[in-house]
Structure 1
Amino acid sequence: MRKLYFLVPGTGGKFACGGLWAELKTFKLAQQVCSADVVTYKQRETDKLFLDDLLQQPNLDDVIFVISWGFDIAKLAAKLQPYHVVYHAHSAGYKFNLPASIPIITVSRNTMGYWGQKSPNSLIYYLPNEISAEFKNLHLERDIDVLVQTRKSSEYLLNQLIPALQQQCQVQVVNSYVEDLPGLFNRAKVYLYDSAEYWAQQNVSEGFGLQPMEAMACGCQVFSSVNGGLSDYLDPGFNCDKIAGYSLKYDVKRIMKVINSGISPTLSEAFFAEYRYENIMKRLQVILAELNEFFDHKQHHPGNIPSLTRGRLFKLFIQKINSKFRKKYFQGL
């Protein structure tokens, strides 16, 4: 099995974010299946390989480069064109296309559907993010009525909904790194998450949305937007509630109803099984085996399925118009 090189711009500092942590978590999982290393390509780090140095080495046919940083994908794909490359897709909506020679691993079915339409000749796989075992309901007394993290939150949530709730219940707003997130979720009755506005400004989608699922696993009632990858697992009315529903007054009414009920939601562990370690590892082993088989084939055989380029789509459109015209013409004879 080929060695994997997970490419990230850097592993800390200005590059620190949820997407980076998710990628490094996948790297750790991959190390349990095959040899893998982290490679930086913007920020040189003393204990990490650097891409430009690595590309000076001969015999890179036995490695696979895993690229994931959305805004850098187009340049990285061009730079790594002679090599074996896999795109680990978190968010969707970036303005680039990929050749069929680059397989795509998506973290959500929402992102898989996007690439299934945009890149129909590529191999595409689904590997959701892992929800660590530490995120579980400890059945403790919950002393926080409403919990919200400011990052990615909408103006409505921060400037209207939270102030309105603070007049009626105990609200904790988090705007910094939390050391014990499972512990914090286990103290909260309700967790609020509203990222649609944030991602609309970025012009890309919510890739997965770890926090709502982690909160659900810890027994919180989640009020969330259902944009992008969140739509994979959130089901308003059944396992969560939709936030920003019609009016501020109606949101407050629904949230206070949950708080005053004193009832904690109970989702079976079967619901989370798809996102737990055991299932992720099974899927990862299958995917990596298929990728190695594909790159064996690609080394000796060129791709020959026509791509859905703008030119080809225009040609298909003209063919469709001509076909309709001929059909009407012959029907009129």
Structure 2
Amino acid sequence: MRSLYFLVPGVSKKFASGGLFAEIKTCELAQQLQSAHLVTYREKSPDHLYLPELLPQVQPQEAIFVVSWGFDIPRLVKQLRSHPVVYHAHSTGYGFKLPSRIPIWAVSRNSLGYWGQRAPNNPLFYLPNQISPEFENWQQERDIDVLVQTRKTSSYVLQQLVPYLQQRCRVEVVNSFVPDLAALFNRSKIYLYDSAEYWLNNAVSEGFGLPPLEAIACGCQVFSSVNGALADYLDPGFNCQKISTYCVEYDGDRLLAALNNPPAATNAQALLQEYRTETILLRFATILQEVNHFFDYQGQYPGNIQLQRQNPLLVRLRLALRQQLARWRT
């Protein structure tokens, strides 16, 4: 098995994000299976390897470099063209293409489908993010009615829904880093998460959406948007409620009803098991075997599957039809 090097730009506060934390967790999971290291490439860290210093020491085919930082992917792929590379796909929509020699690990089925269409000749695998063991229902009293984190939250929730709710219940709005999110979720009855506007403005997708899943694990009721990868596991009317729906009164009254008459407790373990450590480790071990086998083949055979192409005649016909429909509408 080739050693794994997980590349991140840095580990300082400057790069703190869900994607960074997820990549660190994935590296730690890999370390339970084989040799794996976290490597920075923009800023040095005393605790981690640094790519410009590491790369000259690594012989082609002796290690796999795992890249994940969306906007840096084209540059990293070019820099690592002599080495086996895996793309760990979180958000989608960055616009780059990948040669078929690069396997893709998708953290959600939403991302898996995106790359299944965009990279049909690449090896594709589903490797979801992990829910850490501390995220569970502690069965304690909850002193927060509604919890909102400002990061990624829509202007509607912050400017309309939160003021509506603050007149009627205890709302906690958090606008800073939370060192113990599991404890905060266990103090909260309802968690609001509305990221559709954030990702729309950033022109990429919700890659996984871990907080609502962690909140469910801690026994919170979840009111959330269902954009991107959130649709992997959120099921409105069953394990969550859809937020930002029609008008503030409709949202607010449903929230208050959920506070006053909480639904019967449901067993979320079946939903959560897919994202727990033991399940992911079993899946990860199989994926690593498959990826190493694929790179063995690369050393013996060139890629020879013709890339999918759009039929130019069909493209022209669709364009002509759209133009004709536009004239009819005017």
| TM-score above 0.5 | yes
Asked if the contact 1:220/1:264 (under 8 Å) is kept, the reply is no
SS in 2 for 1:55: helix
Shift of the 265–242 alpha-carbon distance from structure 1 to 2, 3 Å rule, reads farther
Write the mapping of 1:229-248 to structure 2, written as runs, cut at 5 A. 229-248=229-248
Asked if the contact 2:60/2:82 (under 8 Å) is kept, the reply is no
Further displaced range: 123-132 or 135-144: 135-144
SS in 1 for 2:19: helix
Shift of the 72–316 alpha-carbon distance from structure 1 to 2, 3 Å rule, reads farther
Q: Which letter does structure 1 place at the counterpart of 2:254? A: R
TM-score normalised over the length of structure 1: 0.92
Greater than 6 Å deviation, 4+ residue runs: 318-321
Shift of the 138–318 alpha-carbon distance from structure 1 to 2, 3 Å rule, reads closer
SS in 2 for 1:56: helix
Shift of the 155–264 alpha-carbon distance from structure 1 to 2, 3 Å rule, reads farther
Q: Which letter does structure 2 place at the counterpart of 1:43? A: E
What is the CA–CA distance in structure 1 between the aligned matches of 2:180 and 2:261, rounded to whole Å?
A: 27
SS in 2 for 1:162: helix
Residue matched to 1:274: 274
SS in 2 for 1:222: strand
Could you list the runs of 5+ residues in structure 1 that have no partner in the other structure?
A: 322-333
What is the CA–CA distance in structure 2 between the aligned matches of 1:197 and 1:223, rounded to whole Å?
A: 15
Q: Deviations over 1:93-144 (max 9, x none)?
A: 1110000000000000000000000000000000110111211111211111
Give the C-alpha shift of residue 5 in structure 1.
0.4
Give the C-alpha shift of residue 317 in structure 1.
4.1
Residue matched to 2:148: 148
Residue matched to 1:94: 94
Q: Which letter does structure 1 place at the counterpart of 2:162? A: I
| 1:24 aligned onto 2:24 | yes
Pick from 304, 310, 314 the counterpart of residue 313 of structure 1: 310
Give the C-alpha shift of residue 250 in structure 1.
0.3
Give the C-alpha shift of residue 46 in structure 1.
2.5
Asked if the contact 1:217/1:267 (under 8 Å) is kept, the reply is no
Residue matched to 1:195: 195
SS in 2 for 1:128: coil
Quote the RMSD (CA, aligned, Å): 1.6
Shift of the 94–187 alpha-carbon distance from structure 1 to 2, 3 Å rule, reads same
Asked if the contact 1:221/1:265 (under 8 Å) is kept, the reply is no
Residue matched to 1:44: 44
Q: Which letter does structure 2 place at the counterpart of 1:123? A: P
| Aligned length, in residue pairs | 318
Give the C-alpha shift of residue 8 in structure 1.
0.5
Give the C-alpha shift of residue 203 in structure 1.
0.5
SS in 2 for 1:313: coil
Give the C-alpha shift of residue 55 in structure 1.
1.9
Give the C-alpha shift of residue 186 in structure 1.
1.1
Asked if the contact 1:39/1:51 (under 8 Å) is kept, the reply is yes
What is the CA–CA distance in structure 1 between the aligned matches of 2:90 and 2:316, rounded to whole Å?
A: 36
Residue matched to 1:288: 288
Q: Which letter does structure 2 place at the counterpart of 1:301? A: Y
Asked if the contact 1:239/1:267 (under 8 Å) is kept, the reply is no
Asked if the contact 1:153/1:193 (under 8 Å) is kept, the reply is yes
Could you list the runs of 5+ residues in structure 2 that have no partner in the other structure?
A: 319-330
